[in-house]
Amino acid sequence: MAGVKRPSDGQPSTAKRSRPNKEEQDIIPKDQLEAMEKVELIAHILKLQTQILSAARAPPSPPATPGLSEEEVYNKASKARELMEKGIKSQMKWKPSCKTRGARFSYSGVVASAQVFQRMFRLPADWKKKQLQFGPAEFQDTTRTDISTSIRFGHLNITGKNITVRWDANDLTFTVTGSYGL
């Protein structure tokens, strides 16, 4: 008999009740506030004021990603580079446009910090631009990867004039776009 409630026996439940959290304890309904005496109301107001002041004086929370050590930056850049290589290779499939070297790829990635992105593409620490362009050989040199995929009767390689890398410093994301073919 699904959906039918068991009749109550009038006894209170013995199950444990969860304790209200501190914020719920501080909230007093309007009717109780109206019933309080002036001294109790003043004490409650003073308590709330001290809570507000202590929250305002509290030190700001630390940044989400603290400074990374040089070894952590190197490891994260290597991992991001490997993921980028795999992501681009997974998009390199045979298409008729591969004959004219016009097949396109686009890879988007996320890094832990700007330091990781700069290490990944061998950029100086003060680099602030939003876009980079590389030739195919320069891209493979800079990223220390050889991105090519074997197909039935040949290999697909990165081709074209430019590989574009767009950087969004706010979201810590980058996008690599370019073309590939025979």
Task: Retrieve residue 168's tokens.
Answer: 């969004």
DSSP 98: G
Contact (CB, 8 A) for 160 and 176: no
pLDDT at position 111 over 80: yes
- Tens of pLDDT, residues 48-83: 888 887 777 765 544 444 577 788 888 888 888 888
Give pLDDT, residue 10. 59
Going by their DSSP bridges, the two strands 154-168 and 148-151 should be labelled as antiparallel
Q: What CA–CA distance (Å, rounded) separates 77 from 173?
A: 13
Percent of the chain predicted with pLDDT > 70:
81
Give 113-152 pLDDT, tens digit per residue.
Answer: 888 888 888 888 777 788 888 888 888 777 777 777 788 7
Helical (H) or strand (E) element with 176: strand 173-181
Q: What is the mean predicted confidence (pLDDT) over 93-107?
A: 83
Q: What is the reported pLDDT for 16? A: 53
Question: Which pLDDT score, from 0 to 100, does residue 61 have?
Answer: 42
User: How many residues are given for the chain?
Assistant: 182
- The Cβ of residue 11 has, within 10 Å, a number of other Cβ atoms equal to 6
Phi and psi angles of residue 143, each rounded to the nearest 5 degrees, phi first: -85, -5
Report pLDDT for 26: 62
Q: What confidence tens digit (pLDDT) does each residue in 4-44 have?
A: 666 666 565 555 555 545 554 567 787 887 888 888 888 88
Q: What is the mean pLDDT of residues 86-93?
A: 85
Per-residue model confidence (pLDDT) at position 28: 77
The alpha carbon torsion through 45, 51, 54, 59 (nearest 10 deg) reads -150
Q: What is the CA radius of gyration of the chain?
A: 30
pLDDT in tens, 148-179: 778 877 888 888 788 888 888 888 889 988 88
For residue 63, the model assigns a pLDDT of: 44
Average model confidence (pLDDT) for the chain? Answer: 77
